[in-house]
Amino acid sequence: MRDIDKKLFKKLSILYVEDDDFTREEISFFLKKVCGNVTNATNGAEGLQAFQTEKFDMVITDIQMPVMNGLDMVKEIRNARLATVHGGLSDWGEVVTR
């Protein structure tokens, strides 16, 4: 990665929402090496609460989770006009946009 890219990534604040412990730990480990701030949540309800209390540049979320799934979390964020949501990824390799 070029120096300018590294500097840009170090400024990012990311919310990562994933219910699977192993996946969350692995992806968070990588994100923390590249990005400035990474906050984890284990379901959509925790993610929504974190999003309402902190400022994030990006949200990366799983789709299927207990308590509140990723799509419902995104709808709540969008309905509350907390952010503009452009898309997301699922573990099935699809890009979901709504």
State the first-to-last Cα distance of the chain, in angstroms, to the nearest integer.
32
The phi, psi pair for 37, rounded to 5°, reads: -140, 130
Q: pLDDT, tens digit, for every residue of 40-57?
A: 999 999 999 999 999 888
Residues in the chain with pLDDT values less than 70 = 1-4, 81-98
- DSSP 3-state of 95: strand
Long-range contacts of 19-25 (CB under 8 A, 24+ apart): 19/43, 19/62, 19/65, 19/66, 20/62, 23/62
Where residue 16 sits, what CATH number does that domain have? 3.40.50.2300
Domain count of the fold of the chain: 1
Cα torsion through 81, 13, 95, 52, rounded to 10: -30
Quick one: pLDDT at residue 6?
76
Cα–Cα distance for residue pair 87/98, rounded to 1 Å: 7
pLDDT score of 36: 86
pTM attached to this predicted model: 0.80
Which residue range(s) make up the domain with 81?
Answer: 3-96
The predicted structure's pLDDT at residue 65:
93
